[in-house]
Amino acid sequence: MIDFAQTLSGFVVGVIVGLTGVGGGSLMTPILVLFFGIHPVTAVGTDLLHAAITKSGGTYVHAKKKRVEWRITALLAVGSLPAAIVTLLSLHAFTGALGSSKIITTTLGVALILTGLALVLRTRMKRISVAYDLPRHPGFTIATGVVLGILVSLSSVGAGALGITALIFLYPRLASQRIVASDLAHAVPLTLTAGVGHWLFGDVDWQLLLSLLLGSLPGIYLGSHLVGYISEKILRVLLIVMLLLIGTRLLIF
């Protein structure tokens, strides 16, 4: 059975993603936990597969237009995919259901606050990176992938705004379209790997996933066509405020 409220939530979040390019896991997972009472582990596992499906379409478009820097995507994946697997195995090996729930809600809260701060500081970080001309050793990109792999596996947050901000800092002279495309291309295998891992441990609700997809797919399509009609600056400020408030709420959940 399809839950209309969950489908509506997927639609609203999809519109925001279509308008700003940010907000998928950052909004969907906390909504599932705080408003629908979904167990945190199930919310994360379901949203990861939801993200893998919705981000695939965008990756295909970017790849077709040759915007993806596959070297950067590969370096990120070298760090993130093993980190995601190790994180999930460790989570289920060393914690019970209650322990997993606390770890995930805490990580989710921290990730949301970091995402909000990343959106605020993104431009400044780019200026600092250009001014000091920092070294671009591949190891830094791989290390970034490791951090993203851990965060995404535990919270479903990080593959978007945090990944883009990190790439802006590491590759400040790279065109923004290429940074977004490369981050998106990396997010697909990362969220898929982490999502399948959660599924193997029984942490995916397929009915919930279908309800979300029925709303988010048309929402993303509509939002992408509304770009330019609604002030992105206002939406971004509102998104930052929501992320910081929700992140703080989850830390005291």
The verdict on residue 218 lying in a domain is no
Domain that holds residue 114: 40-212+241-251
The verdict on residue 230 lying in a domain is no
Tell me the CA distances in angstroms from 183 to 56, 89, 190, 238, one per residue in order. Answer: 12, 25, 10, 23
Cα(73)–Cα(127) distance, rounded to whole angstroms?
Answer: 23
The verdict on residue 32 lying in a domain is no
> What is the rounded radius of gyration, in angstroms, for the C-alpha atoms of the chain?
17
Where residue 227 falls among pLDDT bands split at 50, 70, 90?
low
Residue 196 has pLDDT above 70, yes or no: yes
The verdict on residue 227 lying in a domain is no
Query: Which pTM was predicted?
Result: 0.88
pLDDT (average), residues 198-207: 92
What percentage of the chain has pLDDT greater than the value 70?
Answer: 94
- Give the length of the chain: 253
Q: Which two tokens stand for residue 78?
A: 């070298």
Domain count for the chain: 1
Q: Are 28 and 13 in contact (CB under 8 A)?
A: yes
The verdict on residue 144 lying in a domain is yes
Instruction: Give the pLDDT score at 153.
Output: 94
Burial class (CB in 10 A: 0-12, 13-18, 19+), 64: exposed
Lowest average pLDDT, out of 15-24, 149-158, 190-199, 237-246, goes to 15-24
pLDDT (average), residues 94-122: 82
Around Cβ 13, how many Cβ atoms within 10 Å? 27
Task: Give the mean pLDDT of the chain.
Answer: 87
Instruction: Give the pLDDT score at 113.
Output: 92
Tell me the CA distances in angstroms from 34 to 122, 156, 203, 253, one per residue in order. Answer: 28, 15, 17, 9
The verdict on residue 150 lying in a domain is yes
Who wins on pLDDT, 216 or 21?
216
Angle between helices 97-132 and 161-170 (to 10 degrees): 30
The verdict on residue 88 lying in a domain is yes
The verdict on residue 5 lying in a domain is no
Instruction: Give the pLDDT score at 234.
Output: 82
Handedness of CA 231, 65, 161, 32 (dihedral sign): positive
